[in-house]
Structure 1
Amino acid sequence: MVSVSDEKPVPGQIAKVLKGREAGSYCVIVNILNDRFVEVADGDKRKFDKAKKKNINHLDLEPYVSNEVYESIKETGRVTNGKIRFAVAQFMNEKSQ
């Protein structure tokens, strides 16, 4: 399991969008640009290749990290959109129970 802190985002971590057009939806952090901005994708409307640059203050970081996404990004620097969709669906399934 990947360690998660409240302030520092981790690739593969699930986040809820608080501001913007996609507010209320969930996405996966796919890249950390600096201490203020990250890139997010949901694998459906927002693909990995066209990840959205988001301010960390506009995201609610969840304490859930997808190991599949984290390992894929760590090993190859990329992740498939299917893995991103699966990670979001798995998180939503666990959250609803």
Structure 2
Amino acid sequence: MNHSYSNLEIGQFVLITQGRDAGQYAVIIKILDERFVVLADGDKRKFDRPKKKNIHHLEFFDYVSPEVQNSMKETGRVTNSKMRFALTNFVNELVTDLKKGEHN
């Protein structure tokens, strides 16, 4: 999946495809440049200890968490619980949608 730098957004959900965190979901909390973003999930990767990742090692979803995005715009940070909440809701909806698609 090719993504250009301009398509990335703060609060966007991603699936990590490479590295020790492969298979985990995270939220973009900062865009460093056209190659790197900073990710956190509020659990293993907290806001204060985020992970810098190459965008080529990520799968992007066309969904942005309004809670995370608004919090980052207003205060420059987001609480770990807010990230966990947004990610849990997103993953639950995604898994539910994928299962619905399999049964059609």
| TM-score, normalization by structure 1 | 0.91
Quick one: distance in 2 between partners of 1:9 and 1:57? Answer: 13
Q: 2 CA distance for matches of 1:55 and 1:34?
A: 10
CA distance in 1, matches of 2:94, 2:60: 14
| The structure with more helix, counted as a fraction of residues | 2
Match of 2:72 in 1: 73
Q: How does 1:26-45 map to 2 (within 5 A)?
A: 26-45=25-44
Aligned partner letter, 2:53:
K
2-side partners of 1:48 and 1:38: how far apart? Answer: 13
Partner of 1:86: 85
AA aligned to 1:67 is P
Equivalent residue number for residue 63 of structure 2:
64
How far did 1:93 drift? 1.4
- Identify unmatched segments of 5+ residues in structure 2: 97-104
- Count, aligned residues: 92
Distance in 1 of aligned mates of 2:50 and 2:64: 18
Q: What is the Cα deviation at residue 32 of structure 1?
A: 0.6
TM-score scaled by structure 2?
A: 0.85
Identity across aligned pairs (percent)?
Answer: 55
Q: Superposition RMSD on alpha carbons, in Å?
A: 0.9
Per the alignment, residue 3 of structure 1 pairs with: none
Cα distance in 1 between the residues matched to 2:85 and 2:31? 21
Give the gaps of 5 or more residues in structure 1.
1-5
Q: Which aligned pairs between 1:45-60 and structure 2 lie closer than 5 A?
A: 45-60=44-59
Inter-partner Cα distance in structure 2 for 1:43 and 1:89 = 11
Query: How big is each residue's C-alpha offset from its partner over 1:33-82, in whole Å with a ceiling of 9 and x where there is no partner?
Result: 11110000010011001110000110101111100000000111100000
Question: Cα offset for 1:90?
Answer: 0.8
